Amino acid sequence: MSTVRCTVESFNYSACGLEVGDHFDVVDGGVVVPEGRRFCYFAIANVVAVLGSSMDVTKRPLVACPDPPENLHMRLENL
């Protein structure tokens, strides 16, 4: 089973109420958000698109949310 964690690393502001350190996991094609938390579905969609490409997650890339003024960056890493 492969698990990729996506963690909020920085942003100018968060329109969705996210905080640095918030995360979700992609496990076998599904998304798992910690209980009691929520995550922006636009940000999730960007991450899923990247994971469908040939990007090497072992290099811990940054992925951006699609809202440019928000400038939210998320770190991907294999668990």
Residue 1 has pLDDT above 70, yes or no: no
pLDDT tens by residue, 23-79? 999 998 799 999 999 999 889 998 988 887 777 888 899 999 888 899 999 999 999
For residues 48 and 26, is the Cβ–Cβ distance under 8 A? yes
pLDDT tens by residue, 8-18? 999 999 988 99
DSSP assignment of 19-66: -TT-EEEEETTEEE--TT----HHHHHHHHHHHTTT--GGG--EEE-S
What is the CA angle 39-10-68, rounded to 5? 80
The predicted model scores a pTM of: 0.89
Domain ranges of the chain: 3-78
